[in-house]
Structure 1
């Protein structure tokens, strides 16, 4: 293949004027809390397949209130089309073809005394003249997801949804003009979801729960064949990573998988459906798990993804490698990705980000002219923000553990906050993290430990947290704090722990540790009762069958009498993932035992950050900073 060299040596950089919402710029020394609490000014940018239109999801207020602007790239003086929707909170857009866009939005539904957030999609015309088509409008609480955009069929998409209300998803083919649907695959007791389509839109992979063998089975089938072949069985007793990534565009009966296959770190392999064999390890690393495959919209393999400090890609396509090699030097020290692209690659939306850049969008025309679209948060400059380091520390039992450290301005040692991630089957990826930056801006050094039980660092590290909630997992967090102390970065008598979800559980546990190293803790949306959280995992087969047996250890609700430091408890009142009852019952016991606490309940807030709006964050951040400074004396 002839290598295409992208010439960007004489790029002209200019501001792309697209009538942005006006927000006041603040100085470098003092930044009002509003600058952090306000939702991003720009949430999403996407270019049409033909490269003629640019769609921007733009905030109209501190609370978001997002609208969609469609700009004609051939005539920037032309007034953009502006789209909004009543009772819909726009969260993102995708182009379905040159004329139609798919809009992701959220709604809060109220059913008597019960309220909950749902994610939906709508389809409308980019010229603003058509009606809004909301699939399955009458099924208000139906959740569904996009399986394939069917790039070779401009009028159709594939959607996964439980259309017959039997709690088993199906796959439907939907006409994006009329909304008419045809069920092409009916879920059953064997095939129950996680559907994967090939480049032609044929559903070729899926998964289901096998009650006889007590396993999660992963299935695939040959091109044009109706017979499902069991490729892999995952069980609580022999838990490993295994997932389908997509089918080969060159050999349709070969499927890419991310799997351990006897190794500690996952790698990328091809599984041959005709021979029943795996290829050699196509891609893998010693330090972290492999991520996935990177393809173009037609399924051509471009590279393999992975994450160390930041997400990265190992390219196998020379043209794509040359393109990135030409773009990335323009943004030294930044994470750079192509967020959207026209089919001919002559219009590229480039997104950059770093610890000191909340995110900036650019448009690259014809691989020659770079135009700045705008920042996600123009009120925050590099002078207001702090750099992020990626370090390795040793736990008390010698385990080498990764962590992100956000370092405030000034001279160490600093007051410190340990911020464990949720999950716990997850990992942090701190390119720009609002919570760590809020804390660092107010003088706190923040460490995010990738404690045992975290994903992404190999099978042994993942399994090492099993049944050790609040025990060795919690020790890893304390050891992260002491790492900062030992390095002279933190004051030994100025330590706190703050977390959300599983991190909130860690916040509960931190408040009752013997020989406590912390001056206070903050538990956000935390699990306080392990018995109760086990009962709420039924929404996901993966969590119910694979994670539930691993949840054991210290149950905070049983030890509230041992709380020995002040604790701030924060929870959304309509949290679906971790019901607010976890915090309410813990707080009731804090009151019973006359402990030092404060409770903040956020109205109409669910578990995830997408339902934390400006008012929520203002209340939460104000309470957190006041707690750390005045109650904890940090």
Structure 2
């Protein structure tokens, strides 16, 4: 009898789950901004702060809770006319808060980022460093070890467009300059674990190189470690100074190999160690160092990314802690985002293809408290499986890719090829809003890491040079063909959607001969290669580095070849790819009597963090309508 009842309840549960999975969520579930953007505990473990939305459009505030009584009313910190974007604990009583504000000045419309220091108890005024300079631009370099009153800031003290380093008192706003930038050393300052600036960079205009400098101690002279030329593609970055061997600095570099690895560079001898860490399949990402005051800067492991970000641990205690936390969340990507000095309070964030983001507080290593979901309207059954695969390009190059498989419908599925932006970037898909939105509505999604993507070695990166709209585009199409051969994708129902460089790809995808797509969707896309080259970067170095690699198909010159319906989407204040790219393309579509739809998002900039609820609601509804009623 008990067994029958259990079976009956289990079947009812399965039926309920199946029905819920089949239910289509309202667009609000995906269009609303994250309910929680950040959670962090103070070093003493007494308080927990979170950046929480007050409505669907964000309007974020900081809530500060007493950990001993999380149900008590929190202190709430907000900002008039400014949007809070981030925060960090500077000591146990003070928070550093990042803001941004949209400025409309005549025909100019742009964002200004600012910073303030506030008391976590909500009392007192907000302290804005260098308030007298309305255009002040500075960044936090380090909270000084053993000093709760001062932080290191990078700031242009004498307004000569060369940053300096200052010690800033977070209580009274007083500052003193500790390092003057000059024409040789002009930024990229890296402090060691004692808070001393011992690495920096400068731009050599005569040779058009970025020169990296370091010094064994503050008593030693600066040594030029590396001159990086834009004419030579390589990876070389300072990471941090070794705690165990203070005259050595960790670097991420290729040093003649295809994949970037981690080395130690001896500033006194000019010699590199053997490769400390590296993989055959992907570049190394960096080092994991202790953030605790008692052993600040001590090496704990090496970071890398295959399907997901991962760590090769060298510290057995950290490895054991991470593994014990991961054991609490089967089949989840688990990240420790904040911890108290004694590890009795640890903030954990979980993600997976069936978890859009959830925060937890682990107390005393035994009590797990759920803080909340990032997207509370999206439940696990509403999301779809993500697979990490690879396939071969036409010339045999291995192309990694993420594939999101819809939980509804039958194969072969209508399919969307979704190339990433950049193109010097890569996807890291754990929970991806756009692919999950499409999969939730029945579309199979592939995100190819085409040639020109970063993170897979120099050969893969350089293979994209001068192949815009050509071999790079072939790699994307080949991903669709691979899914067709596997019986997953329907060759009669293929579309391409992308943003930024992905938008460029969607422009090109609308005009290819023997087109495999039934439609495309170009978001914030580059349409004119000459125009993007002319406005690529203010930096001479970056112009020299990237401009020679951008050549191939310029979509604006070939609009007459468009042979499938195309939807064009762009933000009207896009600072990265100006909206003229889409407006000019649409004018040509109209001139050539092509089938198109144009959606211009008012007040939207280029990057996804400037797309608000109203932008996403308009964009998502238009995209889904286009796919359903125009494409297929």
Q: Same fold (TM over 0.5)?
A: yes
Q: Paired residue for 1:418?
A: 417
Structure 2 match to 1:57: 51
The aligned residue for residue 66 of structure 1 is: 60
Q: Of 380, 384, 390, which aligns to 1:382?
A: 380
Aligned partner of 1:350 in structure 2 is 348
Q: Match of 1:630? A: 629
Instruction: Verify: 1:221 aligned to 2:178, yes or no.
Output: no
Q: From 254, 257, 260, give the equivalent of 2:251.
A: 257
User: Does residue 474 in structure 1 map to residue 468 in structure 2?
Assistant: no
CA contact (8 A) 2:230 2:542 kept: no
The 3 A distance-change label for structure 1 pair 397 and 244 is same
Match of 2:9 in 1: none
Q: Say whether 1:494 aligns with 2:488.
A: no
Structure 2, unmatched stretches of 5+, are: 1-18
1:575 equivalenced with 2:589 (yes/no): no
Say yes or no: does 1:365 pair with 2:363: yes
Offset, 1:423: 0.7
Which of 591-600 and 320-329 deviates more? 591-600
What's the counterpart of residue 299 of structure 1?
A: 297
Question: C-alpha displacement at 1:172, in angstroms?
Answer: 2.4
Alpha-carbon deviation of 1:141? 4.3
Q: Deviations over 1:559-612 (max 9, x none)?
A: 112111111111111111111111111111111221111111111111111111
Q: Does the 8 A contact of 1:504 with 1:523 survive in 2?
A: yes
Unaligned runs of 5+ in 1: 1-25
Superposed counterparts of 1:74-93, under 5 Å: 74-93=68-87
Taking the aligned partners of 1:82 and 1:243, their CA distance within structure 2 comes to 40
Determine which of 290, 295, 320 is the counterpart of 2:318: 320
Instruction: Give, in whole Å, the separation in 2 of the partners of 1:569 and 1:70.
Output: 43
Give me the whole-angstrom Cα distance separating, in 2, the residues matched to 1:416 and 1:76. 45
Q: Over residues 354-399 of structure 1, what are the superposed CA-to-partner deviations in whole Å (9 max), with x where a residue is unaligned?
A: 0110111111111111111111111101110111100011111111
Per-residue CA shift, 1:498-529, capped at 9, x if unaligned? 11111111111111111111111111111111
State whether residues 283 and 304 of structure 1, in contact with CA within 8 Å, keep that contact through their aligned partners in structure 2.
Answer: yes
Does residue 157 of structure 1 match 2:167? Answer: no
Give the corresponding residue for 2:513.
Answer: 514
Q: Distance in 1 between matches of 2:515 and 2:159?
A: 50
RMSD between aligned residues:
1.5
2:193 to 187, 196, 199: 199
1:163 is displaced (CA, Å) by 4.1
SS in 1 for 2:512: coil
Match of 2:106 among 112, 115, 134: 112
Q: What per-residue deviation string (whole Å, max 9, x for no partner) do you get for residues 28-64 of structure 1?
A: 4121000000011111100001000000111110001
Q: Does the Cα contact within 8 Å between 1:107 and 1:119 map onto a contact in 2?
A: yes
**2:222 & 2:529 partners in 1: Cα distance?**
38
Q: Distance in 1 between matches of 2:156 and 2:570?
A: 30
Q: Report the Cα distance in structure 2 between the residues aligned to 1:304 and 1:505, rounded to whole angstroms.
A: 35
Match of 2:3 in 1: none
| Partner residue in 2 for 1:12 | none
* Whole-angstrom distance in 2 between the partners of 1:415 and 1:617: 22
Residues 1:401 and 2:399 aligned together? yes
- Are positions 1:438 and 2:432 aligned together? no
Deviation per CA, 1:126-156: give whole Å up to 9, x if none.
Answer: 0001211222344444443221122322111
Partner Cα distance (2:463, 2:299) in 1: 34
* 1:77, distance to aligned residue in structure 2 (A): 4.3
Question: Closer, same or farther in 2 for the Cα pair 1:226/1:584, shift >3 Å?
Answer: farther
CA distance in 2, matches of 1:496, 1:209: 44
Q: CA deviation at 1:234?
A: 1.7
Cα distance in 2 between the residues matched to 1:241 and 1:288: 13
**Structure 1 residue 76 displacement after superposition:** 3.0
> TM-score normalized by structure 2?
0.94
**Contact 2:571/2:605, CA 8 A, preserved across alignment:** yes
1:277-322 deviation per Cα after TM superposition (whole angstroms, max 9, x unaligned): 0001100111000010011222111110000000000111111011
- Counterpart of 1:335 (choices 315, 318, 333) is 333
CA distance in 2 between counterparts of 1:224 and 1:169 reads 19
CA distance in 2, matches of 1:229, 1:490: 56
Distance 2:572 2:176 in 1: 38
Secondary structure of the corresponding residue to residue 480 of structure 2? helix
The more displaced of 591-600 and 223-232 is 223-232
* Mapped partners of 2:510, 2:134: distance in 1: 41
Question: How far apart, in 2, do the equivalents of 1:113 and 1:104 lie?
Answer: 26
For residues 334 and 427 of structure 1, what CA distance do their matches in structure 2 show? 21
Q: Give deviations 1:97-148, integer Å, cap 9, x for gaps.
A: 0000111222111212211112222210000012112223444444432211
Please say if residues 286 and 302 of structure 2, whose CA atoms lie closer than 8 Å, have aligned partners that are also in contact: yes
Instruction: Using the TM superposition, give the Cα deviation of residue 233 of structure 1 relative to its aligned residue in structure 2, in angstroms.
Output: 1.8
Please report how far the alpha carbon of residue 540 of structure 1 lies from its aligned counterpart in structure 2 after TM superposition: 4.2
Distance in 2 (alpha carbons) for counterparts of 1:606 and 1:169? 27
**Distance in 1 of aligned mates of 2:390 and 2:561:** 32
SS at match of 2:141: strand
1:97 alignment counterpart: 91
Aligned match of 2:119: 125
Q: Which has the higher contact order (CA 8 A, sep 6+)?
A: 1
User: Would you say the 8 A contact 1:118–1:143 is kept in 2?
Assistant: no
Equivalents in 2 of 1:134, 1:274: separation in Å?
40
* Alignment of structure 1 residues 561-572 onto 2, 5 Å: 561-572=560-571
Q: Which residue of 1 aligns with 2:554?
A: 555
8 Å Cα contact 1:258/1:292 also seen in 2: yes
Which has the larger displacement, 192-201 or 282-291?
Answer: 192-201
Separation in structure 2 between the aligned mates of residue 471 and residue 141 of structure 1, nearest angstrom: 43
Q: Which residue of 2 aligns with 1:523?
A: 522
Distance, in Å, in 2 between the alignment partners of 1:252 and 1:495 is: 56
